[in-house]
Each structure stands twice: as C-alpha cells, then as structure tokens.
Amino acid sequence: MPGLIDANAARRPDEAVVARKRDGVWEDVTASAFRSEVRAVTKGLIASGIRPGDRVAVMSRTRYEWTLLDFALWYAGAVSVPIYETSSAEQTAWILADSGAVGVVTENAERRALVESVRDRLPDLRRHWTLDPGAGNGGASGAGGETAEPPAIEALVRAGEDVGEAAPDRALETVGPDTPATIIYTSGTTGRPKGCVLTHGAFLADARGVVQVLGPLFRTGESSVLLFLPLAHVFARLVQVVAVLAPIKLGHAPDVKTLTDELASFRPTIVLGVPRVFEKVYNSARAKAREAGKGRIFDAAAATAIAHSRARDTAAGPGWGLRLRHALFDRLVYRKLRAVLGGRATHAISGGAALGERLGHFYRGIGFTVLEGYGLTETCAPTAVNPFDAPRIGTVGRPLPGTSVRIAEDGEVLLRGPHLFRGYWNNEAATAEAMTGDWYRTGDLGRLDADGYLRLTGRKKEILVTAGGKNVAPAVIEDGIRSHPLVAECMVVGDGRPFVAALITVDDEFLPRWAAEQGLGGLSPAELLEHPALRAELRTAVDRGNAAVSRAESVRAFHVLDHRFSEESGHLTPSMKLKRHVVARDFATEIDALYTS
C-alpha cells in the first residue's frame, strides 16, 4: 500500500490528496507533500527501533495523523494495530498484550495515562508516543515519571533526521502482497476480541474492486470524502486506502458532535456512514419541520420522495403528477436536506447494518442515493456493494470483482476471494472454525436473487426459536421498530419462550421534542417513560415492526428501559452492534417479567 503514496507523488505531485484542518481552516496537502511527511515519520520509526513485522498500536480518534501514521508504519514494514479510543484499560491491555505490540501511539494525556496504568502487563511494549501530550485529563509523563516527549509526529520526525533516505526504501522492500498490514480486533459481541490479520494484498484487492464498481464516484481532482467513522474500524481503514488509490481528497472529522458543521465546510462529494447516521438526519429534519409548524409539508415531501424512488424501479417510471410534486418538494425541502449533508454529495455508502427500504427510497428520492454494502473485518470491509448505476434498494448489492458469495444449505452466507483475512492472530482453532475449505463462514443468513444481488435476512447465531418451534430472525423486526424516531435501540427476545417480546430504549434527544408536541413538556424523563401517551406511541413503532413479519414472529409485549444502551454501559460494541448476551444477562429480570406479568 505505501506504493500508492509513491505512485501519486510521481504521477500527480501537485494534486491535493489529503486535507487537514488548522486553526479552523481546511488546508490541502499535495501528493508530493504527503509522501514527504510519510517518509519523514517512517525514518523516525526506523530510528526508534521499529523493524519490519513489528506491531505498533494506534489509539486515537479519526484525524489526519492517524492516516499519516498508518502509511508510515506500512512503509516501515510494520503492522498497525488499531485500538478504539473509547476502549477500557482491560480491553487495551488485552489487545496490546495479545498482539505483542512493541510501540503504541495514543491521542492525548488521558489515553496515555490509561496505557501506562497497565504497562506492567505489557512486557513487549518499548515505545509510547502521544499525539497531543498536553490534551486530556491524565498526566502526560510516562512510567517512572520521566519528562513527557513532544507531540508524536514532531518527535518521530526529529528522531529520523539523521536516517538516510535509503532506509525507508530498504524497509519497503520487505513488504509484499502477503505481508500483514494490520491486525484489527473484532468488536467482540461475545468473549475476547480476536485479531484479524489483514494483508497488503487483501486491502488492495478490496480497494480496487470498490473503485472498479463505483469508479464514476471517484473523480481525481473533483471528488472528496470526509472520514468521520472511527479508523479503528475496518470500514474506515478501507476507505482511506480507496481514497489514496483513486486518488481523491480525504478529510478527517474527529468529533461527530460537530459533523454537520464539518460537512458544511468540507463539502464532500461522497458521504460514508452507518444506518444510524442516516436515521438521525431524517428524524432531526422531521422534528425541526414539526417544531416550525411544517410537519405536514415534510411528511408529504417524504412520502413523495419514497413514491418517486419506488416508481423509478418500475417499467413505466414516475407519472407526470408525481414528477410535478417531486420537483416542487425539491425546491421546498430536498435541497435543504442535501445541504445538511454538505450540498455537493449525490451518493453515500452505508454499511454495518441494514438501512431499510423506507429510508433507502427516501434518500434516493431526495437526490441522495445511499448505496448499501456488506462486509466484515475478516473481508477488509466490503465484499459486496450496490453499483452506483444499478442499485437495488433492500439488498447489499453484488459481489465485488474477484470475490464469490455462496449460500449454504442452512442459509448461511459464505465468502471467498483475495480480500479474505489470513487468519486470527495466534488462534488457529478459531481460524479453522471460521473456514470451510477456502470459504469464510460469515454467520449471516441471506439469499441471492437471479441477478446476483445479496439480501441479508439475519444472523445465524441470533435466530430465536420460540417454545412453539418458530424460528425468528430478530433483525427484521428490530429494524422496523427502530425506524421510529423515538426509538434508540431495540432488542427482540423470546428464545425458548411462548412468544416474542422486546426491550426498547428511548432516544433522549428526540424525547423532549416529542413531549413538547404532546403538551407534556413539564414532565421529567422518568415520568414520560411511564406516560400512557408514550406507551401508545411506542406501540405504534412495534406495530410497524410487526407488519414485516408473520403473527407467530411478531412482538406481543415490550418493556421500556430507563436508560439507553451504549458502549460505556457495556451493551454496544464500538461499531454500535448489540452485545445481546450482555443485555440478556443485565436485564434478565425485566425479560422474565414480560412473560410472567
């Protein structure tokens, strides 16, 4: 992958390939300048004793320095090990120890202190750099009370000043297609996270497949992407490789709380996200319209967008009346929604979970097509994606060039191709269990249509079997319930029980708006959760979810929890997936009550 940096500098030295924010202003970094910075940091790594094959961890939010370090580590022949900056001391210690990391880069003093608190459990760890030593809540000094180093990039560049220009080239000669590029630890919905070993060849195969399928979206000199997903996640890591391969301009947004402002200032042509991001945009826009007394206009515009998108999939296409309404609402509503997403983007790529057909048609109807894809850490992110010129809403698209998808007899999705991981780090048993020959067993259930589009139907391990013997795929019902703006999360239960039920958490950002609309603004959140009007509204959400399934699979009862699931509470992974076994354990009393009341 470092060869991409060299190629861009040689072919397009003055092309802006990255943008970084300084003093609130976006500053372009050309291909030649970025290569120079990467090589300067690479020399610092070499001077610091980092050798080909060494593992070096990075624990930071998404920012320019993350990408700079990633390519510098690859240039040095090292293996980067991402750690979510929200990880606990225990999780951090496990990843650093299991990977045998000899170095770690933390973002600020607080994260530095967290690593130093477990330093005695990390015999392989020799070097610790910090990007912003003065930021955070913890002390910036290292173990033993020594004076803190300068910022990591500055320290590395300074350390490498006396290293010859030939040293990075010699290190790069050790890197080939089968060389490990990174070890990404799976989110760990059950048990200890496993380290997926992903090679340079696997990343490049996947990135080239994405560019081949979505090529017109990646126009050098015109296109840009703002990365706000965590770079500890494989989706974001693949995106940065795609951006450098294309190449298109890559920006970073560390704080999702200011994402709207960042989108407005950076104005990307492509937006990446997970379904919850697109749900939030829709729900917030609808809530603001209702507060301004324009709720009926927004709802009519949304219905028109969905109808227009659905009609585009028919032979006749949208009728003249629908086209007229669509044009009117484009001036009144749709343009404003596109502006929230930066104003220039016409397409988004969504992964991590199902978006749902309703939102898929809504976004395409407003002129902002969300292309759903599908992949896992073990596949370097996407293994299938919807083509930009032939998306099929409700599916996750077709296999990327060079990859294969097969459906096993029990409905499990099996994958094969050069983008597959090399195995789990130091865990041959888990690797063998995950493979059937050269096919990777995803644990997901799905089906392929006649044109090769893949539709996911659930998780194999999450299938519930009721006491009556009915198999239930939770994702279908949960997606429908969660589409209601009041619902933050939903988990369906019922394994071995007489019927299906659900645990629901309420979106605390939307709750006050809803309460004001209902004339209940004076009530506390606790009082609102018990109010009959809220229960009735949530019943509507449950009915919406039930509409997608048979009566035997439908939710008969639900319980509203008084707080949301979160990563901090231990109920969500960093990639926002439910830890079902943890939720079931922590709320066993509430679940039992659903069947005894």
- CA dist 525 and 343 (Å) reads 36
| Confidence band, pLDDT 50/70/90 cuts, at residue 135 | low
Residues pairing with 129 in the sheet: 105
Which residue blocks in 30-141 are alpha helix, DSSP H? Answer: 31-47, 64-75, 89-99, 109-116
| Residue 480 CB-half CA count within 13 A | 19
Q: Tell me which H or E stretch contains 243.
A: helix 234-245
Residue (of 167, 153, 154) closest to 76 by Cα position: 167
pLDDT digits (tens, 9 = 90+) for 67-114: 999 999 999 999 999 999 988 898 899 999 999 999 999 999 999 999
Residues pairing with 108 in the sheet: 132
pLDDT at position 354 is 75
| Confidence band, pLDDT 50/70/90 cuts, at residue 191 | low
- Is the distance from CB of 171 to CB of 46 less than 8 angstroms? yes
- CA dist 88 and 574 (Å) reads 11
| Paired sense of beta strands 487-493 and 464-465, if any | unpaired
- Does residue 226 have a pLDDT over 90? yes
Q: Tell me which H or E stretch contains 298.
A: helix 295-312
- CA dist 29 and 16 (Å) reads 5
Q: Tell me which H or E stretch contains 514.
A: helix 511-517
- Does residue 137 have a pLDDT over 60? no
pTM: 0.84
Q: Is the dihedral of CA 591, 274, 410, 192 positive or negative?
A: negative
- Does residue 361 have a pLDDT over 50? yes
**Residue with the larger pLDDT of the pair 311 and 352:** 311
- CA dist 273 and 373 (Å) reads 11
Question: Considering the domain boundaries, does residue 505 fall inside one?
Answer: yes
Question: Considering the domain boundaries, does residue 288 fall inside one?
Answer: no
- Does residue 148 have a pLDDT over 70? no
- Does residue 141 have a pLDDT over 80? no
Question: Considering the domain boundaries, does residue 144 fall inside one?
Answer: no
**Residue with the larger pLDDT of the pair 389 and 187:** 389
First and final C-alpha spacing in the chain: 59
Q: What is the CATH number of the domain that holds 585?
A: 3.30.300.30
Residue (of 247, 241, 252, 344) closest to 21 by Cα position: 252
Q: How far, CA to CA in Å, does 49 sit from each of 6, 54, 56, 180?
A: 24, 9, 11, 19
- CA dist 187 and 193 (Å) reads 6
pLDDT at position 447 is 94
Question: Considering the domain boundaries, does residue 155 fall inside one?
Answer: no
Question: Considering the domain boundaries, does residue 226 fall inside one?
Answer: no
Average pLDDT, rounded, for the chain: 91
- Does residue 144 have a pLDDT over 60? no
Output the six-digit token pair for 554. Answer: 């439908």
- Does residue 145 have a pLDDT over 70? no
Residue with tokens 């004339």: 519
| Paired sense of beta strands 404-407 and 16-22, if any | unpaired
Q: How far, CA to CA in Å, does 328 sit from each of 236, 337, 369?
A: 37, 14, 19
- CA dist 520 and 533 (Å) reads 9
Backbone φ and ψ for 445, nearest 5 degrees, come out as -105, 140
- CA dist 595 and 597 (Å) reads 6
- Does residue 274 have a pLDDT over 90? no
Residue with tokens 């610091």: 48
Question: Considering the domain boundaries, does residue 228 fall inside one?
Answer: no
Average pLDDT over residues 186-208: 86
Full residue range of the structural domain in which residue 569 is found: 463-596
Average pLDDT over residues 299-307: 96
- CA dist 66 and 107 (Å) reads 9
- CA dist 531 and 511 (Å) reads 12
- Is the distance from CB of 248 to CB of 241 less than 8 angstroms? no
**Number of domains making up the chain:** 1
Question: Considering the domain boundaries, does residue 366 fall inside one?
Answer: no
Concatenating the DSSP letter of every residue in 161-197 gives TTS-THHHHHHHTT--TTSEEEEEE---SSSS--EEE
Question: Considering the domain boundaries, does residue 104 fall inside one?
Answer: no
Residue (of 70, 48, 125, 66) closest to 93 by Cα position: 125
